[in-house]
Amino acid sequence: MVERAGRVEGKVAIVTGAGSTPGPGIGTGKATAAVLAEEGARVLLVDLHPERAEETRAMIAEAGGKAEVFTADVTRAADCEAMVRAAVEAFGTVDILVNNIGLASLGTVVDTTEEAWDRTFDINLRTAFLACKYAVPVMAEKGAGSIVNVASISALRGDGTVAYSAAKGGLVAMTVDMAYAHGRQGVRVNAVAPGHITTPMVMSVSQPGPRAEFMNTMRAEAGLLGTPGDGWDVAWAAAFLASEQARWITGHTLPVESGVLSVTPLMMAPHLRGVPEPGE
Ligand SMILES: NC(=O)c1ccc[n+]([C@@H]2O[C@H](COP(=O)([O-])OP(=O)(O)OC[C@H]3O[C@@H](n4cnc5c(N)ncnc54)[C@H](O)[C@@H]3O)[C@@H](O)[C@H]2O)c1
């Protein structure tokens, strides 16, 4: 049994996308659900793929935590309404909502299709909108709640993913607007912006080869710390924002990115590529 710090003791959390793409490592939703459970929350594990959420539930149960699986397509309003109802029925209320569902899509404005644009917005933004639509009234009624949106540094820096960047940018803007609208109802709304972390989803879309190897190296090397990040790094930040320790923080987006946003790429380039100084 893991010893619990109890930062969210007695709270009820919904985590959307609480499963993880199959493969080695851990996704951000699965890790966040595990950390919240370890810290004392009862967690509703929401995923389109119940077998993925079931893996998360088993992991939490093994550590002595409490969680239940709820199968839903969070792009659908009826599913979101049912999801919130299920949390209330199973655990009595909703204190914490982590909007974690998302999927990147590559492409510029020129080569992104309308279908890809709409799908990317549905997965990354509509899911959070609909989950909040039904969770906020429950929180507002009791005058307390904490929402954490999982955005991306793609919302803040260009990387050739125009639809994804715009959708995550929308999520950051929604975070601010919701913090404004619901602060006096006791509802805090924040976001985390992960950098280039290693998750099973990321690994599953890269074909083995020199490009994948380069990207794996850069995921660690591009940041100030020079070390790779993973789903746990995002989970620890999300759990902090969800907890009472962040009771005076709302409307903010916390980058979790090894300082990538503080790097001048030109200054990192020679060091990363082993370019010698004259005389070396
Ligand atoms: N991996 C990265 O490098 C990275 C970087 C920045 C941001 N992020 C963000 O982190 C989040 C999670 O990424 P991950 O790599 O852990 O992904 P993941 O694919 O492992 O996990 C996401 C889960 O969401 C579920 N899901 C997808 N659509 C759904 C829907 N409509 N309804 C219900 N469940 C649905 C999937 O089944 C999956 O289990 C995303 O928001 C992503 O944009 C990831």
The closest-lying atom of ligand 1 relative to the alpha carbon of residue 52 is 39
Residue 25 near ligand 1, beta carbon < 6 Å: no
Does 164 participate in catalysis according to the annotation?
yes
Query: Residue 190, by phi and psi: left (phi above 0), alpha (psi -120 to 50) or beta?
Result: beta
- Spacing, Cα 103 to ligand 1 middle (Å): 6
The whole-model pTM stands at: 0.95
- What pLDDT was estimated at residue 271? 61
| Phi (first) and psi of residue 248, to 5 degrees | -110, 20
Residue 100 near ligand 1, beta carbon < 6 Å: yes
Angle at 263 between CA 262 and CA 268, to 5 degrees: 165
The closest-lying atom of ligand 1 relative to the alpha carbon of residue 122 is 31
- Spacing, Cα 280 to ligand 1 middle (Å): 45
Residues 177, 43: Cα–Cα separation, whole Å: 26
pLDDT band at 4; cut points 50, 70, 90: low
- What pLDDT was estimated at residue 106? 94
The closest-lying atom of ligand 1 relative to the alpha carbon of residue 20 is 20
Q: What is the pLDDT of residues 216-266, one digit of tens each?
A: 888 998 899 999 999 999 999 999 999 999 999 999 999 999 999 998 776
Q: What is the pLDDT of residues 94-139, one digit of tens each?
A: 999 999 999 999 999 999 999 999 999 999 999 999 999 999 999 9
Tokens representing 64 are 């002595």
Counting residues of the chain whose pLDDT is more than 90, the rounded percentage is 84
Please name each of the domains of the chain with its CATH number.
12-197+230-256 (3.40.50.720)
Of 153, 164, 234, 241, the active-site residue reads 164
Q: Does position 214 have pLDDT exceeding 60, yes or no?
A: yes
